[in-house]
Structure 1
Amino acid sequence: MLQRGREQAMLLDRVQHHVDLIYRSNPLDANLDGLAEELLGLMRLDACITPPAQYVNYWTQRDAIAITYGDTILQEGEKPLVTLKRFFDKYSDGLLTGVHILPFYPWSSDDGFSVLDYSSVNESLGAWDDVESIASDYDLMADLVINHCSSRSLWFQNFLKDESPGKGYFYTASPDDDLSHVVRPRTSDLLREVETTDGTRYVWCTFSHDQVDLDFRNPEVLKQFVTIVRHYLDKGVRIFRLDAVAFLWKVPGTSSLNLEETHEVVRLFRTLVEHAVPGALLITETNIPNQQNLSYFGNSNEAHCIYNFSLPPLLVNTLVTGNCKHLKMWMMSMPPAQNGTAYFNFIASHDGIGLRPAEGLLSDQELESLVDTMSHFGGHVSYRALENGQSKPYEINISLFDALQGTTSGPDAWGVDRFVCAHAIMLGLEGIPGIYIHSLLGTRNDYDRVENAGHYRAINRHQWEYGALEAALAREESTHAQVLARIKALLGIRREQAAFHPNATQFTLHLGEGIFGFWRQSMDRRQSVFCISNISDKVLPLSLSDINLIGTDDWIELISGIHYHGRDEVIDVQPYQTLWITNLAGYSDAL
């Protein structure tokens, strides 16, 4: 009992420290007495806690997460969440350990990211029982849409009437404030004029006028989200994606991006979550320049994982130019994730290919060339506003399969191989892989959906009819069947190699501009895997002596099964072929 009492006191002190740092300026003169105790009570940590282990990796090379909307696959007469689980149960063959279901709550716009009610499941998708069913067999990732909510929500309607819950929940500013430095990803007006019972107010809208930013200066907002997190944990959520969290705290006269209070809020949520359910994870979704993104690791006390946002634009650029110099330079600049943290690697998502994370890595001319190439492949471009009133490309909206249908010279016959090569590179990298469902299926641009939805991001949010999807996957010659089979084969190999642990050692190799390579070594140093990809449309020779294979070992290429017996061998690497060369195939001892 004494030990438990000490642990409880230490946790209270820790939470109080977070609260003190978040509200140190107390801009709303809010009553903070007892707030730390309230937060522990809302998370049910006021009676029994489980102290978290420090610097523990809750993941292995066996982990891979699918990213999907709840209604991506539809079957008449069946709830979409039931259909979704049936698809993964049948087609993933146990190779996907987790599922990220994009916002499955009632919403008014932005395909779920304008939330009406955080506590409910959208009736058109199913119910909490269906969510819990998925969580019973897969590690479930859910979005905590923490920066904003719908202007049609009860909270906002109550805000307008100065009633609770909602009173004081939303950030307001004056048109006379200095907002010239605010960084945001849209070109719409930042402030929206609304009429309230207290007169005209101007609410802050980082993304759209239907997505009104919450005001975390008000502790009542913080308490609401702690309650939401506890509710999601109870329903089986084990991974929280903190959507757009970099914009959380606002201060006029600043960029209102990545402010210290925002980082402290992330630290607070980590403390609460890891004491509530050991192994529950936070992932920050911060689509910002690379060095700013890295800051969300903190000192291994903020996000467990961060989205590796620079990877998609750099990898696509590499494969359409046939030149890996920028990808190599970026790889060499990336610090290894400390134990207890990991990169979350992805190359496609429900959004487009973000360009901000490539700023400073690709020149303006190279970014312009990439945008031009993607436009020729049927993509669209979204823009963001600059301080000087001009706009700049922010995101390329295109399906990854179409993005990789050719090179800067135009479409060619290597589309499928180039697409699979992109995934082979991602699956070999340090980090946990996230695979968008439309990448698993090789889905093309959906122009009808863009027209019907009225926004560019819909191009990569196709909805499959389950029967038609099954028919496509049953035809071995179909692109969809080929893509799924080849990615699953890579996943099957990856999960058996200790050197592919998300925290295993990684070094970049220098093999010229047409061959991209890196070396992975298991954490016990027993297994090495050399990951070599020809990122060009030409056959390129590779001498095994160039990658420093140990001559006394028997080396095997994992994908083809070919053995190599000497360092003097020269391999003709085919266009977009990937080699995983190891000295210890199938070594997957628990680390």
Structure 2
Amino acid sequence: MPSPLQSASFYAQLLQHISGLYPDANEDLIVGAITGEFDRGELRSPSPNVELWSEADCMLITYGDSIVAPDEAPLVTLKRFLSDHIKDTISSVHILPFCPFSSDDGFAVIDYMRVNDELGEWEDITAIADSYRLMADLVVNHVSSQSEWFQNYTQGKEPGASWFFEANAGDDLSQVVRPRASPLLRPTETPDGMRHVWCTFSHDQIDLDFRNPQVLLQFLRVIRLYLEHGVRIFRLDAIGFLWKEPGTTCLHLPQTHEVVRLLRCVLDRFAPGTILITETNVPNHENLTYFGNRNEAHVIYNFSLAPLLVHALLTGTTEYLKRWMMSMPPAPLGCTYLNFTASHDGIGMRPAEGLLSDDEQLQMIEAIRRFGGRISTRRGADGSERVYELNVSLFDALKGTVHGEDDWQVDRFMCSQTVMLGLEGIPAIYIHSLLATSNDEEGLNRTGHNRSINRHKWDDELLRKQLSDSSTNQAIVSNELLRRVHIRSQQPSFHPSATQFTLQLTEPFFAFWRQSQDRSQSIFCIHNMTAEIQTLRLADLNLISLNQWRDLLTNSTFDDLTESIAVQPYQCLWIANS
């Protein structure tokens, strides 16, 4: 139990957050409502003395129904796939929104307190949480137009009548930044007449108004429910858009950061060991602000990695990837990055702004189009449309280079995943990367939504056949990727907080050095980013001759540290001293 002094300190801290958000409200009443919600009964939570992450951590990102079987709840099918194929190689699972929804494959939530009947039940969520550290989405910015809250809004009833952000005809919205080109405001008839509600993403996703403390309290109730069912990582979806003020960009406003700090404060107190992740698909310098002063997100997404890594593999040019790596600060103590190369969305291009020139981006876009990908746009503050993301299966995005398709798809793809596995932070693998899934043209044609191209639903029986046939891309990629994840999990130099330095090898190579926190182990991560054999001079690595060096991926040793070795197309080396 916390001491009275600790309780007083927490109360004062929480009061400070509430005062910053709601200076005109009854602050003591709001704080009392928060503590009352979390003080009722014990919560299952990790031990506060257990390290938040280690080299053994790796996450799988999946929809609840990425694998389906006849007459079986998809969450049950997913649990069986995890037990049979993943086992304990991967430590954490991110199940994308699993609540009832009306659009955007789950991100237009109808009811946060229920599991979608088409996926399963709460007990299915808990069963997965019993075996893996479970991450769930907290879709805080908006809610479905079909939700009870918004239906109440249209009828002037609470809860809901005062829960949605409205704009007036005279508001200055010229600076608003958002990731869509659709109209921002949705005319809506209410008992008080026509109102215009804010829709950052779509007219089915209505933005909530966090200026009303009741909205905040409702989401704290959702958090508590999720904790009760075993969720240990919360992903704050689209958090950067949370607070709105006409006349501003309505992005990353100070109140938004205050909300994140408040959530962190509550979780640290009532569920210590729970991890908070912010999802902000924006340029790197903006993304980094969500670490706060080590008092906001524990983890932020490394959004710039995917477009820069894909660009490097498509062009064979590592200049931009190296430049970004050298500019990345180590994560603050107690924080880290989530590294990913593919997700349920596309390859975000906004995080590449200022890092890749317009010409470099255009070259990359044309290659992705040739490989069957699609392009999604956003509307800038000046009203112009800009590329927002590339919609494509990562496996197909790497079926060739800017010069066209070739025979190196699997090797190139494995190189992309191996780079991710070696970097500072926690790696996160999208299920369709693990399964080498190609573009889902049928799904795209069925829904008409570009993102459907990378949201395939595997038939369970067919997938099992593919994985049991060693000649298929599914078996080749999945088995080798899981093997590399397993090797990674045993190396202290791959601890998320271990030291990292970018190496300045010749252009075809992308390389970096990791060193364990106790300095007992070093790993040189070398990647040939081209379809040509490249020569690596071991002397360029300055390997200490007193150590025995070996490549962890092939288990081959290096006895002559002055020799040059031939690195095959897209080959990766993890040269370690122990």
Q: TM-score with structure 1 length normalisation? A: 0.96
Q: Does structure 2 conserve the Cα–Cα contact (< 8 Å) formed by 1:50 and 1:275?
A: no
Equivalent pair of 1:529/1:583 in contact (CA under 8 Å): yes
Asked if the contact 2:424/2:494 (under 8 Å) is kept, the reply is yes
Cα distance change of structure 1 residues 50 and 417 upon mapping to structure 2, 3 Å threshold: closer
Of residues 29, 39, 50, the one that matches 1:34 is 29
Aligned residue number for residue 156 of structure 1: 150
8 Å CA contact retained: 1:399, 1:459: yes
* Structure 1: distance between partners of 2:6 and 2:183: 48
1:540–1:456: structure 2 CA closer, same or farther, 3 Å change rule?
same
Give the Å deviation of 1:338: 2.0
Q: Which amino acid aligns with 1:571?
A: I
Partner of 1:587: none
Q: Is the 8 A contact 1:8 1:46 kept in 2?
A: no
* Contiguous gaps of at least 5 residues in structure 2: none
Q: Confirm or deny: 8 A CA contact 2:45 2:232 kept in the other structure.
A: no
Aligned-residue offset at 1:46: 10
- The whole-number CA distance in structure 1 between the counterparts of 2:66 and 2:46 is 39
> SS in structure 2 opposite 1:141?
strand
Kindly indicate whether the alpha-carbon contact (under 8 Å) linking 2:43 and 2:271 is maintained by their aligned counterparts in 1.
Answer: no
State the 1:530 CA deviation: 0.2
Partners of 1:449 and 1:50 in 2: CA distance: 39
Alpha-carbon shift at residue 43 of structure 1 (Å): 2.0
**d(CA) in 2 for partners of 1:296, 1:48:** 27
Contact 1:12 1:37 in 2 (8 A): no
Aligned to 1:253: 247
In structure 2, distance between residues paired with 1:48 and 1:212: 31
CA contact (8 A) 1:52 1:274 kept: no
Q: Which amino acid aligns with 1:36?
A: V
Equivalent of residue 166 in structure 2, options 172, 179, 196: 172
In structure 1, the residue corresponding to 2:151 is in which secondary structure? helix
Secondary structure of the 2:223 match is helix
Counterparts of 2:392 and 2:527, CA distance in 1: 24
Following the alignment from structure 1 to structure 2, what is the Cα–Cα distance between the partners of residues 394 and 82? 35
Aligned residue number for residue 105 of structure 1: 99
Classify 1:536/1:411 alpha carbon distance in 2 versus 1 (closer, same or farther; 3 Å). Answer: same
Is the CA contact 2:375–2:389 (under 8 Å) kept in the aligned structure 1? yes
Unpaired runs of 5+ residues, structure 1, are: 585-591
SS for the counterpart of 1:444 is coil
Asked if 1:529 is matched to 2:523, the reply is yes
SS state of the match for residue 77, structure 2?
Answer: helix
Partner of 1:305: 299
After superposition, give the CA deviation of every residue in 1:381-439 in whole Å (9 maximum; x if it has no partner): 00011233220110000000000001000010000000000000000000001100000
Listed as ranges, the matches of 1:307-322 within 5 Å are: 307-322=301-316
**Cα shift readout 1:472-506 (whole Å, capped 9, x = no counterpart):** 11110001100001101101110010000000000
Q: Which residue of 2 aligns with 1:138?
A: 132
| Residue 189 (structure 2) pairs with residue 189 (structure 1) | no
Q: What's the RMSD between the two structures over aligned residues?
A: 1.6
Q: Answer yes or no: is 1:462 the counterpart of 2:461.
A: no
Give 1:569 shift.
Answer: 1.5
- Give the whole-Å Cα distance in 2 for the aligned partners of 1:506 and 1:388: 39
1:567 aligns with 2:569: no
Q: 1:420 to 1:539 in 2, by over 3 A?
A: same
Say how many residue pairs are matched.
Answer: 578
Task: Provide the identity percentage.
Answer: 53
Change (3 A) 1:365 1:180: same
Asked whether the equivalents of residues 7 and 51 of structure 1 are also in contact (C-alpha less than 8 Å), the reply is no
Does the 8 A contact of 1:355 with 1:394 survive in 2? yes
- Are 2:328 and 1:334 aligned? yes
- SS of residue paired to 2:539: helix
Other-structure match for 2:14: 15
Correspondences of 1:493-532 after superposition (within 5 Å): 493-532=487-526
Give the C-alpha shift of residue 365 in structure 1.
1.1
Residue number among 255, 260, 263 corresponding to 1:269 in the alignment:
263
For residues 392-411 of structure 1, what are the structure 2 equivalents within 5 Å?
392-411=386-405
1:170-249 alignment, distance < 5 Å: 170-249=164-243
1:577 equivalent in structure 2: 571
In 2: Cα distance, 1:371 partner to 1:149 partner: 32
Question: In structure 2, what is the Cα distance between the partners aligned to 1:438 and 1:334?
Answer: 28
Structure 1 residues 126, 51: closer, same or farther in 2, change over 3 A?
A: closer
Q: Secondary structure at the match of 1:518?
A: strand
1:44 and 2:43 are equivalent in the alignment: no
Q: What does residue 476 of structure 1 align with?
A: 470
Alignment match of 1:557 (pick from 551, 564, 569):
551
Change (3 A) 1:501 1:45: farther
Change beyond 3 A, Cα 1:412–1:131: same
CA contact (8 A) 2:44 2:230 kept: no
- Give a deviation string over 1:59-115, Cα, whole Å, max 9, x none: 001011100000010110111000001001100131111110000000000000000
